[in-house]
Homo-oligomer: A and B are copies of this chain.
């Protein structure tokens, strides 16, 4: 008998942490649509019922119970189809788990073997690791199930499943985005597929969740490692693919390594669990998939847009405020916000003081016109003059210093927050990663706001993204004058960033080496940078941890973002040079 291809639907959902009812609705909707498409299997992301990462909600027994009750509500929705659903299992302990459901019955539960506990991940804080491994016969085909990190290891659980006959491997994910990660994933998945001669179905979560954005990009790869189909990145999608199981079996016949591995394995898995027989309904063939991965920097821009949209909306807001300085950073944030939330929901305010250049207002106005967003000017000069007067007795006899500079930034923060409080808007802050790394920002001033859109975007990348925005639009969105002017905080006469910081072309690679790659002072100097500059940059980074600790969350787009990804002591005397 020739097996009909196995039809798999990967439901790339944008869940919300803790919104169990909402997540269940999305899951049930995906199951119904997959059944209509004649699918044998529908799979949803890791922990789809709870949303990922649920963090310390997992310590609440009531939360676990509500998630278990939700799984029970999903069972009756799975008539005539096999559903693989990420949830939190609770037996002797709690597990990051996948339910295998068919025709209304819970057939089995798989527990994640490898629990990531590095970078942004804390899974050992919550979960016990799974031990059992199993293969299922679904639609007459042998299928293995695994969860996220499990597939990043060359051996088990995947190897054991493949050796036990699995022709298809379904892997549930909540894998956060960073630049270039999709290509790394696809390369790794292709290696797994060819190593084990198994077709790999990779379903990922999509959407923003606090500091993380999940890029989706779910994929099906053949047993030869070719990408058969791919879901859209940065949006919800339902990926349908037919897997040619005959081809898998053919490939295996010609794989000598496989027989060797099989011979060496001492403890094979239990026999497969029968879930469902081959589908007899003939199904029309699918059109070829034509979705390709996004290029750089489209990918990073899409991540920032989705991350911003979801943070604002999942926190119950619709409208935002951005303080516009006429500089590249606030212009970039405005462009992202307009794409994320619609121009009618974005208000730009220019808040000039005595040190603001003329371009500060005119360039902001021009940007707002280009973006079609609301714009207003609220000068802080009267407030600044009054507060200088208020502080006169205390400051008598002192020289002007950072105190007076920060006062202006804090008055701007106060103005923006007062509009936020009055009208129920969220303030988006505009600091980039280079500034956040070096502490070149004012706490409670320009750092005041609900979400720090480009906190993980180095200044040199901000420029690249700005050019991308203009090129994509085919017109000037971010004004040319903004792109050309030298960066300045405009908090004292003739101030320039470059008076306080190395040139960004020098600063950014040093920061990448120190912050993202943990390189030592010696290593960075050997990369060709001036020792005194490197020492200064390291000191700036170390000394400004206290500021970052009080900054709003941001979207992680680099391999290491500030926040849960980098856990650094505030009181620390280590310089490393």
Contacts and interface: CB of A to CB of B under 8 A. Distances in A.
B395 A422 contact: yes
Contact of A403 (B66, B421, B522): B421
Contacts of A380: 390
Given A17-B572, A19-B574, A391-B418, A410 B407 contact: no
Contact of A573 (B17, B395, B569): B17
Contact of A418 (B125, B403, B443): B403
Contacts of A518: 59-61
Contacts of A16: 571-573
Contacts of A387: 383, 411, 414-415, 418
A225 interface: no
Given A387-B383, A576-B60, A576-B63, A315 B570 contact: yes
Contacts of A54: 569
A438 to B, nearest CB: 17
Contact of A574 (B17, B402, B551): B17
A94 to B, nearest CB: 13
A53 B567 CA distance: 11
Interface string A532-560: 00000000000000100111110000000
Interface in A381-401: 382-383, 386-387, 389-391, 393-395, 398, 401
Most B C-beta atoms less than 10 A away, residue of A376, A380, A444: A444
Contact-residue size bin, chain A (C-beta under 8 Å from the other chain): 35 or more
A569 B57 contact: yes
A566 B378 contact: no
B417 A314 contact: no
A45 B318 CA distance: 52
Contacts of A521: 62
Interface in A14-66: 16-20, 22, 53-57, 59-63, 66
B382 A406 contact: no
Interface stretch (A116-124, A149-157, A190-198, A461-469): A116-124
A394 B414 contact: no
A272 interface: no
Contacts of A404: 418
A138 interface: no
A237 interface: no
A521 B61 CA distance: 11
Interface string A490-522: 000000000000000000000000000010111
